[in-house]
Amino acid sequence: MNLYVIRISNFLDELKLQEYNKNILLVAHGGVLRAIHWYFNGIDNSLFTCENCKIYKYIF
C-alpha cells in the first residue's frame, strides 16, 4: 500500500471520529480520489477510474 493511501486512510479515520452531523465536501485530484474510493469500497486503486468534475458520494 502506498504511503499516500495510508495518509488518506488516516485522515478519513480522523474525520469519522469527529462524528460530524453535516455533509463534508472534499475536493481532490485523481490519486486521492482513488484512495478514497478504495477506503470506502475496498476496491484496488488500479481498477477505479475517476471522471473529471464528477461528484462521488460516500457514507461513513
Q: What is the pTM of this model?
A: 0.79
Instruction: Determine the pLDDT at residue 51.
Output: 83
| C-alpha cell read off for 52 | 473529471
Q: What is the DSSP letter of 29?
A: -
With beta carbons less than 8 A apart as the criterion, state whether 37 and 43 touch.
Answer: yes
Instruction: Determine the pLDDT at residue 12.
Output: 94
Could you report the per-residue pLDDT of 1-60, keeping only the tens digit for each? 689 889 999 999 999 888 777 888 899 988 888 899 999 988 776 777 888 888 889 988
Nearest Cα residue to 48 out of 40, 21, 13, 12 = 40
